[in-house]
């Protein structure tokens, strides 16, 4: 048996050679432009050669401060393929956090989109390792060079590094780059957490882990060659959950939404490109559903499957898409698991539309070992009843954070996720809460996730989140923060009456706050940390019912 290294280059080669006619379609705000996989592959080879001319070598970090575009896909393959390390930069981080992760990784080159240059200009003096900025400008009528209006923004960058136009860099090279053979255990990609509880934590993914994750994430053939897959998860967030890789090797057309992730442009892309598959967080799907509800002429008939992950999926949302003929399932994972750990496709003995299974968090995918443990570390049974913290191990689960940080999250080869869940005898996971978010009231646990899902099932509620707040008698009690639907004004008593037959009586929130918008993290999750801070500072108008 041949010992062939598992590398990103081999994923690239397969898609380029076998599926050269498949397409990458990038949205610019008004229309979709198209390139074949073969054209993208040639541009990828030119990019690798151009980066080599800039002095990028094996192990060097290349940052990407980019939206979801064909250029970002080119960097996904070019940088790891040449033996360097792609560091995807989250452009929704605070400036100080962005500077922290660039310096922590010691990025030498940053490929950046012209629209986010002000982020870099604000911190340019704090980035001593960066030698080159490669600028992508895909704005309409931008021309070969950068717009003159960008010159003031570019000045702080040019004072410390060279500025190169992306298209000029590619134009100076020829396709046919000679990809090196790399060690499959060498670094390929760096990602950082979203930094909601402190400084973002870095993780390094090897070529081997990305290769294996690509096949594990698409286990069961979620995406096939006939699909058109809309890459909704930003490519700066955990490699867009792996869709650029497993879509590429499957030969599915890839639809890149750039920075246009609101309900209206998403509906337009789905209708125009005849998208069949996508994956994203519930807040994105809520926007799409709200837009379609308000514009019934919108056509989602091409969609055969939506995957939702990153946060619990309300039953009301599943039913809302069911009414449109769009089947939705859940997936689960973490940055630390690259991220896919479970996908909730119903088993063969159930109907594919069975909401009992589709409402579960997901089913453990091949390659992931999962267990749940009690507070004392005892391993609990997969009986669908015992609840404990999920621990993971597997070939694409990290064994440590970058530079050995947070060692307490690892023990005996297992990673402690912080998620509290049950697992049934078929491997279906049902997450009850995050360990940090579970509400401890009178010595008993209240699931904030279950409360949120039930509240969002009310027809007058658009979004809701629940956090624990201090209580002199019970230790903590639930505070529900609610965004009403347009034109609706639900009362606390109305929502308590809705909840009463659906949850335990002592779970009922006795504090309520109604807001126009919920704060969200850089990856679209409800920012519970910020909500707790606002409550503690007296910034929320709270109605007490108990």
Q: Which residues are designated catalytic? A: 193, 336, 440, 445
First to last CA, the chain: 69
In 3D space, the residue among 385, 397, 458, 388 whose CA is nearest the CA of residue 420 turns out to be 388
Alpha carbon distances (Å) from 184 to 13, 173, 188, 415, 517? 16, 27, 9, 22, 45
Q: Answer for the pair 15, 40: CB distance below 8 angstroms, yes or no.
A: no
Alpha carbon distances (Å) from 390 to 179, 193, 219? 39, 18, 21
Q: For 19-60, where are the E strands, in sequence order?
A: 23-27, 32-36
Helix, coil or strand: residue 455: helix
Cα separation, 117 vs 358, whole angstroms: 41
With left for phi above 0 and alpha for psi between -120 and 50, is residue 425 left, alpha or beta? alpha
Cα separation, 117 vs 128, whole angstroms: 17
With left for phi above 0 and alpha for psi between -120 and 50, is residue 435 left, alpha or beta? alpha
Full DSSP string of 476-501: EEEEEEEEEPTT----HHHHHHHHTT
Give the number of residues written for the chain.
546
Q: Is the peptide bond before 339 cis (omega within 30 degrees of 0)?
A: yes
Retrieve residue 511's tokens: 């504090």
Neighbouring residues of 151: CB distance < 8 A, sequence distance ≥ 6: none
Cα separation, 65 vs 88, whole angstroms: 7
Question: E strand or H helix at 266, and its extent?
Answer: helix 263-273
Count the neighbouring beta carbons within 10 Å of the beta carbon of residue 368: 22
| CB < 8 Å & 24+ apart, contacts of 140-147 | 140/28, 140/29, 140/30, 142/114, 144/168, 146/114, 147/114
Q: Which residues pair with 464 in a beta bridge?
A: 482
Q: Which residues pair with 21 in a beta bridge?
A: none
Largest CA distance in the chain: 72
Residue with token string 């949120």:
452
Q: Is the peptide bond before 522 cis (omega within 30 degrees of 0)?
A: no
Q: Answer for the pair 281, 317: CB distance below 8 angstroms, yes or no.
A: no
Count the neighbouring beta carbons within 10 Å of the beta carbon of residue 480: 26
Q: Answer for the pair 449, 442: CB distance below 8 angstroms, yes or no.
A: no
């Amino acid at each position: 048996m041949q010992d062939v290294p598992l590398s990103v280059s081999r994923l690239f080669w397969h898609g380029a050679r076998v599926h050269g006619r498949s397409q990458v379609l990038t949205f610019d705000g008004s229309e979709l432009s198209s390139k074949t996989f073969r054209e993208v592959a040639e541009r990828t080879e030119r990019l690798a050669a151009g980066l080599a001319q800039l002095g990028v070598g094996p192990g060097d970090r290349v940052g990407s401060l980019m939206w979801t575009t064909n250029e970002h896909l080119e960097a996904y393959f070019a940088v790891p393929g040449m033996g360097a390390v792609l560091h995807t930069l989250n452009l929704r981080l605070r400036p100080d956090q962005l500077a922290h992760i660039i310096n922590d990784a010691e990025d030498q080159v940053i490929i950046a989109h012209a629209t986010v240059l002000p982020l870099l200009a604000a911190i340019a003096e704090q980035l001593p390792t960066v030698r080159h900025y490669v600028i992508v400008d895909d704005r309409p009528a931008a021309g070969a060079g950068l717009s003159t209006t960008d010159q003031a923004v570019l000045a702080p960058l040019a004072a410390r590094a060279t500025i190169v136009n992306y298209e000029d860099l590619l134009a100076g090279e020829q396709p046919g780059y000679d990809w090196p053979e790399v060690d499959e255990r060498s670094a390929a990609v760096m990602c950082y957490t979203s930094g909601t509880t402190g400084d973002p934590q870095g993780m390094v993914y090897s070529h081997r882990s990305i290769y294996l994750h690509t096949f594990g994430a698409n286990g069961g053939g979620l995406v096939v060659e006939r699909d058109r897959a809309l890459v909704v998860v930003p490519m700066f967030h955990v490699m867009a959950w792996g869709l650029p890789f497993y879509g590429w090797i499957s030969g599915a057309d890839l639809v890149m939404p750039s920075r246009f992730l609101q309900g209206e442009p998403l509906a337009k892309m789905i209708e125009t490109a005849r998208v069949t598959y996508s994956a994203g967080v519930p807040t994105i799907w809520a926007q799409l559903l709200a837009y379609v509800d308000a514009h019934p002429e919108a056509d989602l008939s091409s969609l055969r499957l939506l995957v939702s992950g990153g946060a619990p999926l309300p039953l009301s949302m599943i039913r809302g898409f069911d009414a449109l003929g769009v089947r939705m399932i859940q997936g689960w994972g973490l940055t630390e698991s690259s991220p896919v750990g479970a996908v909730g496709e119903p088993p063969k003995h159930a109907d594919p539309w069975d909401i009992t299974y589709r409402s579960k968090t997901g089913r453990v995918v091949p390659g992931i070992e999962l267990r749940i443990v009690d507070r004392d570390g005892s391993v609990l049974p997969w009986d669908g009843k015992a609840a404990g913290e999920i621990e993971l191990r597997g070939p694409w689960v990290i064994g440590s954070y970058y530079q050995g940080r947070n060692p307490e999250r690892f023990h005996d080869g297992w990673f402690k996720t912080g998620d509290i869940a049950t697992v049934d005898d078929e491997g279906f996971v049902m997450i009850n809460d995050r360990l940090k978010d579970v509400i401890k009231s009178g010595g008993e646990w209240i699931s904030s996730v279950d409360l949120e899902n039930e509240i969002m099932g009310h027809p007058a509620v658009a979004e809701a989140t629940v956090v624990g707040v201090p209580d002199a008698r019970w230790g903590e009690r639930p505070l529900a923060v609610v965004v009403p639907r347009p034109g609706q004004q639900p009362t606390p008593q109305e929502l308590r009456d809705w909840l009463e037959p659906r949850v335990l009586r002592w779970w009922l929130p006795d504090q309520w706050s109604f807001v126009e918008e919920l704060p969200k993290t850089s990856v679209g999750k409800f920012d519970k940390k910020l909500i707790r801070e606002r409550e503690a500072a007296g910034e929320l108008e709270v109605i007490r019912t108990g």
